[in-house]
Amino acid sequence: MPRDDRPVRSSARADRSGPRPGVRADRYTRSGPRADPPRSQPTPRGEQPPPGRSAPHPEPQPRRSPTEPTSRGRSKPEPSARDRSAGAARRPVESAEPVEGAQRLQKVLAAAGVGSRRACEDLIFRRRVTVDGRVAQLGDKVDPATAVIHVDGERLVVDTRLVYLAMNKPRGVVSTMADEKGRTALADFLDGRVEQRVYHVGRLDADSEGLLLLTNDGTLAHRLMHPSYGVAKTYLCEVAGPIPRNLGKRLAAGVELEDGPVQVDAFRVVDTLGRTAQVELTLHEGRKHIVRRLLDEVGHPVSRLVRTTIGPIRLGDLRAGRTRRLTNAEVAALFKAVGD
């Protein structure tokens, strides 16, 4: 074969003096790439690394179990009984027996106007709420229709179906919701503003005026009317004068009527105008026409009678023929007056 006399070209890569692209200069020598130094071995505990060599990073240790003893033989301390009790008190506790139609207690309290849900949760946590006689806990569920709830010892009505109204009955209106004879009755002043059917607590005759309670809470109405609960009622009367000084003592001692004796709890003369006088008396009985018959028996017939209070509820400046809803505090005061 013919000899190829062409000069052999030296490889450009072989003639180059310097590092290859992408290779650090300190890792390259004329004789070739510099060998990597050996990896440093972990230094035993208690020994110092040799000069010029940094200590290796410690290897990650596996995570110990909370109950696994440490290298020194000590185990992680268990939480104290106080910490466990405090943590348990803060954790919601579900009711053991769910009730049909039950709702979260804090939601029921908030709907009743006690405060925000967060504020109601704080009341429950501070043990200021009881349900059916027991201290409530966070997470309890209650049925608003049947639960008996107290906040700071005061009864709280959470059933939104129950209505409590105060009314200033005008003179000439009969104390009934509807009259068969077509006379003006109490329902004529509601004007359909109350969806529930309510009943009057006690009576005022047609010639009398003043405070009358309306509600659909039959249990409370019965207690307010029953004489054994002794709910006091105050009346402002315009009577024939003059009033003798010993009239108050005579009424407090008791006056005999045809259906039995009666005595007042308090009596005072408000004003005297010529031959008439205004007197205020308080008694806890509710017999028919009891005030008129009592004052007529002692010689001071009544020309005008206005009931101003029933227990803790006051007539105030409520205009004749108008009604207003009782506040939660007033409803609680009524329950307290009848021993609930």
The predicted pLDDT at position 34 comes to: 54
Q: How far is Cα 251 from Cα 259, in angstroms, rounded to an integer?
A: 16
Residue 12 is predicted with a pLDDT of 45
Residue 14: the pLDDT is: 44
Specify which residues 213 forms β-bridges with. 166, 201
232-310: CATH topology: Pseudouridine synthase (3.30.2350)
Query: Of 130, 123, 136, 162, whose CA–CA distance to 149 is shortest?
Result: 130
Contact between residue 227 and residue 284 where contact means Cβ atoms under 8 Å apart: yes
Considering the chain, tell me which residue range(s) the CATH 3.30.70.580 domain(s) occupy: 164-227+315-337
For residue 73, the Cα-to-chain-centroid distance in whole angstroms is 52
Q: Which residue has the tokens 């004489």?
A: 227
Mean of all residue pLDDT scores within the chain: 80
Q: Which residue has the higher pLDDT, 148 or 49?
A: 148
| Angstrom distance (rounded) from CA 285 to CA 263 | 9
Q: Has residue 268 got a pLDDT over 90?
A: yes
pLDDT of residue 85: 45
Q: Which of 122, 159, 205, 296 is catalytic?
A: 205
pLDDT at 150: 93
What CATH code is assigned to 92-156?
3.10.290.10
CATH 3.30.2350.10 residue ranges of the chain are 232-310
Q: Outline where the chain has alpha helix (H).
A: 12-15, 81-90, 105-111, 117-125, 218-225, 247-253, 290-297, 328-337
Torsion of CA 327, 328, 333, 339, to 10 degrees: 140
Tell me the per-residue pLDDT of 15-40, one tens digit each, with 9 for 90 and over.
Answer: 444 555 554 545 544 555 555 555 55
- Kindly report, as residue ranges, where domains of CATH 3.10.290.10 are found in the chain: 92-156
Structure tokens at 13: 């890569």
- Taking only the tens place, the pLDDT of each residue in 188-204 is 888 777 888 899 998 89
CATH topology of domain 164-227+315-337: Alpha-Beta Plaits (3.30.70)
- pLDDT(184) > 50: yes
Percent of the chain whose pLDDT exceeds 90: 51
Cα 304 to Cα 104: distance, rounded to the nearest angstrom = 51
- Told to judge if 205 belongs to the known catalytic residues of this protein, a careful annotator would answer yes
Between 79 and 162, where is the model more confident? Answer: 162
Q: How confident is the model at residue 179 (pLDDT cuts 50, 70, 90)?
A: confident
